[in-house]
Structure 1
Amino acid sequence: MNGTDIQYLQKRIEELEEKVEQLRLSRRVLMNLIEKIEKDKSGFLSQLEKENRKLHKDNYRYAQSILKQNRRIVELQNKLDNLLTDQS
């Protein structure tokens, strides 16, 4: 091997070391992005679960209200039927 070959190989080693460093940096950036995405996803899922619980609670209250109104309607219908029966 002569001096030119050694210089070429040294230059090539430097280039490869730079590429390795760039790959390491890219990997860190990607890992940070993945971590941020996972954190955002977790927060979003938590928000959706909270909203889902609220909607279930609201639906339960609404159903209870409708049930109460239906009972009142049935009671009033029975009273009206009794009044009409008593008048006959």
Structure 2
Amino acid sequence: MNSSADLQYLQKRIQELEEKVEQLRLSRRVLMNLIEKIEKDKSMFVSRLEKENRKLHKENYRYAQNLLKQNRRIVELQNRLENLQTEMEM
């Protein structure tokens, strides 16, 4: 009788543990899906940031080129003005 009760207890315990294992498997699948989604979102975000960074570098380069061009023009005009002033003093 005692052996029969032990057997029933063990069978019930096995059933409980099998259910827990199944719950853990399901939880693992859910977590893995969440991790995949997070990694995908992260990848898309990084890609967007890299694209924005390239765009900003291009704009910065154009801006710097424009400043250099304007500075050259200013120096050229200053030289012309100095030359005109020198000529007028003569």
TM surpasses 0.5: yes
**Letter paired with 1:71:** R
In the alignment, which residue of structure 2 is the partner of 1:80?
A: 81
Q: Tell me whether 1:25 sits opposite 2:26 in the alignment.
A: yes
Paired positions, count: 88
Note the aligned Cα RMSD (angstroms). Answer: 0.8
Residue 9 of structure 1 deviates from its aligned partner by 0.6
- Partners of 1:8 and 1:23 lie apart in 2 by 22
- The two structures have a TM-score, normalised by structure 1, of 0.97
**Letter paired with 1:57:** K
- Partners of 1:59 and 1:73 lie apart in 2 by 21
- What secondary structure is seen at the aligned counterpart in 2 of 1:2? helix
- Partners of 1:62 and 1:46 lie apart in 2 by 24
The runs of at least 4 aligned residues of structure 1 exceeding 3 Å deviation read none
In the alignment, which residue of structure 2 is the partner of 1:41?
A: 42
- What secondary structure is seen at the aligned counterpart in 1 of 2:35? helix
In the alignment, which residue of structure 2 is the partner of 1:9?
A: 10
**Letter paired with 2:13:** R
Question: Residue deviations 1:6-62, cap 9 Å, x none?
Answer: 110110000000000011001101100110011001000000000000000000000
